[in-house]
């Protein structure tokens, strides 16, 4: 059992790309900096308590720097990778604008970047700086040729991630770094997913700025870092102002316990990296072998250039939220956006060429130190069970017609996210049996199942079940599900109309 063992009374955790548990060894180091008996002082203080805390901070800074091949003085602590990304992108671009005055400026990034990069880039556009977003080529990877073609004389910054958080695609950052050095543009890398999992040497890779965070490598949330190459630091503008901490780039009292935990997590990751990469790659291959044989399975992760612990798979003809809802024994991420504020599924999968339905049916499995072969086998069995169940439920009959006693009606479309078909078996004036086929979110499937049960034994001419609003109240569904219930209502009305036609005289 590893020091990061998760609670096995809960679902199997396969969402390590979202966050990792704090390693017990890391937590122990953090605890030493919390109470009066430990190193709790303010590192900016000059008394003994402050000096002790400052020693712990600088030791952690050296550990974080060593993980990415940097010098300790080049690492700036932040609240996480999001702040580090913002400081790198906004700070560098605004610094360049201050230095160049009215000259035109240009920034390059990619459509598959994390929102922590894309949103600062959009902010730069609002500030009058031109931004080019590259569309990845095969398997979600930007090519050096694409970057070369996008570089302009006024390009001041290129921001391209090392490894994608959804697909695990690894970019050729060393090639990008060489191009940026030759051009004179600063090169920023979001390494939130790769730090501690892939070897990184900022000097050899030609990286000027690099963001990474603790909670992706078994450290605490709320602490990250930005590597800033010494020559670039002079042109970087801070986002926060106060006491001038972190060489004037990030004011605020340093969180000693978090920083110490970050450093310990970096040192631990450096020692475990090679062995874990091999082990997780083997588990990833085992997982793909188990689910890749399912009908309609499509690999969204690169076959070669991918993080060893990330596997993204779509299942054609399956609604992603319903698939995730049925996998009660697993904790993982879906490509479905049904439970978000967006009507679109994963923008990363859309950017690499997946259509809406395929992107929405995706599952992201991300493995970690505690993932076992038994966990993978359980995941395979669960995914196979649910994919086959939902595929059967969503299958369209190819019989060419219905028996005389059966009336059917359908509404919606898979492309729109909801499709429903009701089949009613009639005996005299009564609905003897009601069944359904459906493609949609879990609430859609639950509503269809409930209605099928309610219809049995009722007169087909007037079942007396009301409409979508009545069903929403009965099932206690949120108002945003009403559109799906309207599709169900249309399908039921079509089936009842078919029943009327079957029994009509003549």
Tell me how far CA of residue 191 lies from CA of 122, 162, 323, 423, 496, in angstroms: 20, 5, 30, 52, 57
Residue written as tokens 């076992």?
372
Sign of CA dihedral 349, 355, 357, 361: negative
Distance CA 149, CA 130 (A): 16
Distance CA 290, CA 418 (A): 28
Burial class (CB in 10 A: 0-12, 13-18, 19+), 240: middle
**Residue length of the chain:** 506
3-state secondary structure of 197: coil
Residue 121 annotated among the catalytic residues of the structure? no
Token pair of 292, please? Answer: 């890749």
**C-beta of residue 312 within 8 angstroms of C-beta of residue 168:** yes
Which among 303, 357, 367, 296 has a CA at the least distance from the CA of 333?
367
418 phi/psi in degrees, rounded to 5: -145, 130
Distance CA 345, CA 362 (A): 9
Distance CA 379, CA 339 (A): 22
Which of the following is catalytic: 29, 121, 180, 338? 338
Residue written as tokens 């069903």?
471
Which among 62, 44, 61 has a CA at the least distance from the CA of 53?
44
Which residues, in sequence order, are bridge partners of residue 225?
A: 77, 212
Catalytic residues: 338
């Amino acid at each position: 059992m590893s020091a990061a063992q998760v609670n096995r009374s809960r679902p199997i955790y396969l969402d390590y790309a979202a966050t990792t548990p704090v390693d017990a060894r890391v937590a122990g180091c953090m605890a030493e900096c919390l109470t009066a008996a430990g190193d709790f002082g303010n590192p900016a203080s000059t008394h003994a308590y402050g000096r002790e805390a400052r020693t712990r901070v600088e030791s952690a800074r050296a550990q974080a720097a060593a993980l990415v091949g940097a010098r300790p003085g080049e690492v700036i602590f932040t609240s996480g990778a999001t702040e580090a990304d913002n400081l790198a992108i906004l700070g560098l671009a605004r610094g360049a604008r201050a230095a160049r005055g009215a000259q035109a400026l240009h920034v390059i990034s990619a459509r598959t970047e994390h929102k922590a990069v894309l949103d600062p880039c959009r902010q730069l556009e609002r500030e009058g700086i031109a931004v080019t977003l590259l569309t990845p080529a095969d398997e979600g990877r930007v090519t050096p040729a694409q970057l070369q073609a996008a570089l302009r004389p006024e390009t001041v910054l290129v921001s391209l991630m090392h490894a994608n958080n959804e697909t695990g695609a690894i970019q050729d950052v060393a090639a990008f770094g060489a191009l940026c050095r030759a051009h004179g543009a600063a090169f920023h890398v979001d390494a939130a997913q790769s730090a501690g999992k892939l070897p990184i040497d900022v000097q050899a890779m030609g990286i000027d700025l690099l963001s990474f965070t603790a909670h992706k490598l078994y450290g605490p949330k709320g602490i990250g870092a930005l590597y800033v190459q010494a020559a670039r630091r002079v042109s970087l503008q801070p986002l926060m102002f106060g006491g001038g901490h972190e060489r004037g780039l990030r004011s605020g009292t340093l969180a000693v316990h978090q920083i110490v935990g970050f450093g310990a997590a970096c040192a631990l990751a450096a020692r475990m990296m090679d062995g874990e990469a091999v082990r997780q790659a083997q588990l990833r291959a085992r997982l793909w072998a188990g689910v890749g044989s399912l009908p309609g399975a499509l690999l969204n992760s690169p076959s070669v250039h991918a993080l060893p612990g990330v596997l993204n798979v779509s299942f054609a003809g399956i609604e992603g939220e319903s698939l995730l809802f049925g996998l009660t024994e697993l904790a993982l991420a879906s490509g479905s956006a049904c439970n978000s504020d967006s009507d679109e599924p994963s923008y990363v999968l859309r950017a690499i060429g997946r259509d809406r339905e395929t992107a929405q049916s995706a599952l992201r499995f991300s493995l970690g130190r505690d993932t076992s072969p038994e966990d993978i086998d359980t995941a395979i069995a669960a995914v196979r069970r649910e994919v086959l169940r939902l595929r059967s439920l969503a299958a369209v009959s190819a019989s060419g017609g219905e028996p005389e006693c059966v009336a059917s009606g359908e509404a919606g479309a898979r492309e729109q996210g909801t499709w429903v078909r009701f089949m009613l078996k009639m005996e005299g004036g009564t609905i003897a049996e009601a069944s359904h086929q459906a493609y949609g979110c879990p609430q859609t499937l639950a509503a269809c199942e409930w209605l099928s049960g309610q219809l049995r034994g009722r007169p087909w001419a007037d079942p007396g079940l009301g409409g979508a609003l009545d069903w929403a109240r009965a099932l206690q569904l949120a108002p945003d599900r009403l559109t799906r219930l309207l599709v169900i209502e249309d399908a039921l009305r079509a089936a009842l109309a078919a029943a009327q036609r079957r029994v009509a005289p003549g």
